[in-house]
């Protein structure tokens, strides 16, 4: 243990890789706890703000990383991970570096906490020493990831102290009494006397005004402060069509949008990110509850703004109400645990203060989880439950969950619909344990829009995990439910291509509950599977649909795949690519094991050899999965 003492620079470095904000939240909490324990120097950074080449000079690094999708790294970690995989890094590269890894994941997914497990192994392979065994947080635990984080953190302080007393000079159990320790908020708000006036309502000017408001507000979001967050384009809805049968218990929609601000370009398999609108009533209620002036103009900047040189040129002011509307999720996301802790400092009623302190303590963790996350209680509801709390606007801006864009698979082909983009969206709704109805913010908002009205929607295009296939590539597509969305685009595009070049066959496996209720795009698939269509048997293709509820026993896409075992194998031997899209829970892994079974049966090899064969297919970029929860 001696080497750690000698080399130590007394800094505890905490790096996080977050996709939705949970890992950032956990990392900031770890940083606050370290400060409360008297650690002389703590630094908390997003992993993409850190130069990986500096890793060997650090003594103690804590990684908090989440796993997204099918075992993927968060976007912010991709560069760091590529760096760590370089062949020229030796087994001694991180000798003397002490590290700890905590992962955030969900055990209902096949690749549970895959990112944390890979990172832990790689750091150790490069010669670093684990301070403590990796911790794995699980969304399925009654207290979410905090069920594992709390005990892991207690053990971490003890091990850190044993390794190097200087890190925790007052011992692992010393904690600053809370009363003295509410930090300054990390941001400051400057109020401006601006008379911008109402923009003239000509369409072009209104759009330009909206564009600057979105860009200004979103570039000031805490944790962002990045300058450019301009939407790729604004969309206007032109069609809002119900695809499922009314009263079927499902609400699945087909939306069509025209680009209004600039011409658009995307490929099939791409993803559209939409910034959802918030309920005007909820926004007004929040502004009233927090005693804010919606008409004032503000700029938001980091408190240590001089360290952020990108604030040159200085940010332009934005209307307070627009800032909340475009960046703060006040009526759909649940606040985090630290929100309750900060609220406790501003509660003037004693019973409210006590309840908030209890919620923020380890003992109150499970009760907080039941009250807050399980019920999906919103910021507005929480503030209304504790009327004596008046939080300064700086704290609200820092702690209210950010309003996030929502990503949807594009279901159109740009060649077939120039300057348009289509989506297939299931309107999310559920009932909480206390029997309260909840709906998904973005899907319910889109479903409520009337194509006759003029609503401009900020949108961004990005590549998904389904690369567009060339016309000569045979395809095996599996897309139950709204998983059919990207393949609607694939089929449209290939039908267009088939008019000018010869195209390879497509077989598509679709699944839904019943023929009458939610057979999405029935006429579209059937028309393309008729004479010489791109899904037709005479073209070597096929369309197979599984209705899970139309007969006594459940039938899923896997059953239909087994029935077409020979056909699937024949296409695979012709070099076909496999694309799987849909709900993330069990479907992708069930489909994967049916492929194993088919390869094993049809080619007469063992399951192990079949698994290796499919892994080779994945490595060759011919097995793609896009799944969402």
Annotated binding residues for FMN:
18-23, 66-69, 104-113, 139
Which residues, other chains included, contact 86 with Cβ-Cβ below 8 Å and sequence gap of 6+? none
Task: Say how many C-beta atoms besides its own lie within 10 A of residue 230's C-beta.
Answer: 15
What sign does the dihedral 29-30-33-34 (CA atoms) show? negative
Q: Hey, what are 135's tokens? A: 């911790």
Question: With b meaning 16 or more CB within 10 Å and e meaning fewer, what string describes 47-71?
Answer: beebebeebbebbbbbbbbbbbbbb
Among candidate residues 401, 399, 389, the one with its CA nearest the CA of residue 331: 401
Which residues, other chains included, contact 143 with Cβ-Cβ below 8 Å and sequence gap of 6+? 365, 366, 369
Half-sphere exposure for 270 (CA within 13 Å, toward CB): 17
Among candidate residues 123, 58, 47, 59, the one with its CA nearest the CA of residue 85: 123
Q: What is the CA radius of gyration of the chain?
A: 27
CA-CA-CA-CA torsion for 113, 116, 120, 126, nearest 10 degrees? Answer: 130
| 52, 112, 251, 278 from 479: Cα distances, Å | 39, 23, 18, 31
Binding residues for NADP(+): 482, 548-549, 554-558, 590
Which residues, other chains included, contact 249 with Cβ-Cβ below 8 Å and sequence gap of 6+? 517
What sign does the dihedral 306-312-318-323 (CA atoms) show? negative
Which residues, other chains included, contact 453 with Cβ-Cβ below 8 Å and sequence gap of 6+? none
Binding residues for FAD: 376, 406-409, 440-443, 628
Between CA 340 and CA 53 the distance in angstroms is 38
Between CA 135 and CA 92 the distance in angstroms is 24
Task: Say how many C-beta atoms besides its own lie within 10 A of residue 241's C-beta.
Answer: 10
Q: Hey, what are 586's tokens? A: 């069990």
Phi, psi values for residue 234, rounded to 5°: -110, 140
Concatenate the DSSP letters of all residues of 472-523 into one string.
Answer: TS-EEEE--GGGGHHHHHHHHHHHHHTTTS----EEEEEEES-TTT--TTHH
Binding residues: 18-23, 66-69, 104-113, 139, 376, 406-409, 440-443, 482, 548-549, 554-558, 590, 628
Secondary structure of residue 318 in the 3-state scheme: strand
Task: Say how many C-beta atoms besides its own lie within 10 A of residue 447's C-beta.
Answer: 18
Preceding peptide of 313 cis, ω within 30°: yes
102 forms beta bridges with 64, 135
CA-CA-CA-CA torsion for 326, 332, 336, 340, nearest 10 degrees? Answer: 100
């Amino acid at each position: 243990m001696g080497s750690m003492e000698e080399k130590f620079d007394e800094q505890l470095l905490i790096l996080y890789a977050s996709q939705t904000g949970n890992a950032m939240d956990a990392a900031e909490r770890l940083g606050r706890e370290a400060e409360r324990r008297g650690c002389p120097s703590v630094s908390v950074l997003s992993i993409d703000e850190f130069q990986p080449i500096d890793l060997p000079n650090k003594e103690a690094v804590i990684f908090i990383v989440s796993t997204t999708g099918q075992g993927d790294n968060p976007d912010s970690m991709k560069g760091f991970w590529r760096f760590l995989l370089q062949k020229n890094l030796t087994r001694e590269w991180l000798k003397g570096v002490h590290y700890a890894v905590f992962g955030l994941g969900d055990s209902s997914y096949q690749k549970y906490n895959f990112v944390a497990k890979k990172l832990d192994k790689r750091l150790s392979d490069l010669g670093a020493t684990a301070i403590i065994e990796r911790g794995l947080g699980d969304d399925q635990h009654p207290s979410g990831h905090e069920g594992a984080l709390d005990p892991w953190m207690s053990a971490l302080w003890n091990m850190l102290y044993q390794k190097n007393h200087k890190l925790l000079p007052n011992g692992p159990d010393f904690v600053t009494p809370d009363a003295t320790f509410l930090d300054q908020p990390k941001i400051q708000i400057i109020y401006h006397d601006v008379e911008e006036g109402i923009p003239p309502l000509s369409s072009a000017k209104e759009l330009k005004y909206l564009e600057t408001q979105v860009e200004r507000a979103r570039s000031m979001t805490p944790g962002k402060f990045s300058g450019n967050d301009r939407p790729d384009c604004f969309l206007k809805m032109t069609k809002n069509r119900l695809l499922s049968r009314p009263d079927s218990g499902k609400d699945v929609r087909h939306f069509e949008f025209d680009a209004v601000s600039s011409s658009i370009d995307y490929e099939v398999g791409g993803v559209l990110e939409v910034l959802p609108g918030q309920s005007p009533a909820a926004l007004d209620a929040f502004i009233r509850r927090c005693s804010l002036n919606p008409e004032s103009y503000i700029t938001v900047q980091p408190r240590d703004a001089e360290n952020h040189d990108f604030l040159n040129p200085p940010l332009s002011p934005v209307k307070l109400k627009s800032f909340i509307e475009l960046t703060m999720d006040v009526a759909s996301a649940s606040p985090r645990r630290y929100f309750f802790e900060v609220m406790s400092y501003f509660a003037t009623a004693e019973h409210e203060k006590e309840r908030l302190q209890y919620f923020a303590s380890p003992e109150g963790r499970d009760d907080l989880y039941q009250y807050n996350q399980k019920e999906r209680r919103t910021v507005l509801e929480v503030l209304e439950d504790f009327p004596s709390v008046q939080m300064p606007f700086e704290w609200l801006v820092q702690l209210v969950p950010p309003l996030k864009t929502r990503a949807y698979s594009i279901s159109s082909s740009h060649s077939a619909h120039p300057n348009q983009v289509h989506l297939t969206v299931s309107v999310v709704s559920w009932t909480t344990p206390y029997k309260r109805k909840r709906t998904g913010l973005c899907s319910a908002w889109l479903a409520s829009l009337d194509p006759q009205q003029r609503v401009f929607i900020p949108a961004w295009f990005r590549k998904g995990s389904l690369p567009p296939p060339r016309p000569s590539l045979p395809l095996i597509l599996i897309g139950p439910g709204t998983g059919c969305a990207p393949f609607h685009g694939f089929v449209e595009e290939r039908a267009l291509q088939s008019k000018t070049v010869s195209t390879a066959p497509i077989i598509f496996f679709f699944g839904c509950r019943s023929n009458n209720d939610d057979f999405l795009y029935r006429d579209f698939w059937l028309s393309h599977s008729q004479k010489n269509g791109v899904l037709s048997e005479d073209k070597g293709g096929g369309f197979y649909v599984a209705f899970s509820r139309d007969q006594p026993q459940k039938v899923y896409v896997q059953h239909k795949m087994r029935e077409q075992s020979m056909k699937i194998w024949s296409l695979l031997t012709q070099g076909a690519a496999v694309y799987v899209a849909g709900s993330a829970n069990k479907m992708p892994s069930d489909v994967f094991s049916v492929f194993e079974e088919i390869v094993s049966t049809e080619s007469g090899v063992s399951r192990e050899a079949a698994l290796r064969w499919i892994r080779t297919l994945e490595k060759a970029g011919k097995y793609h999965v896009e799944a969402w929860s």
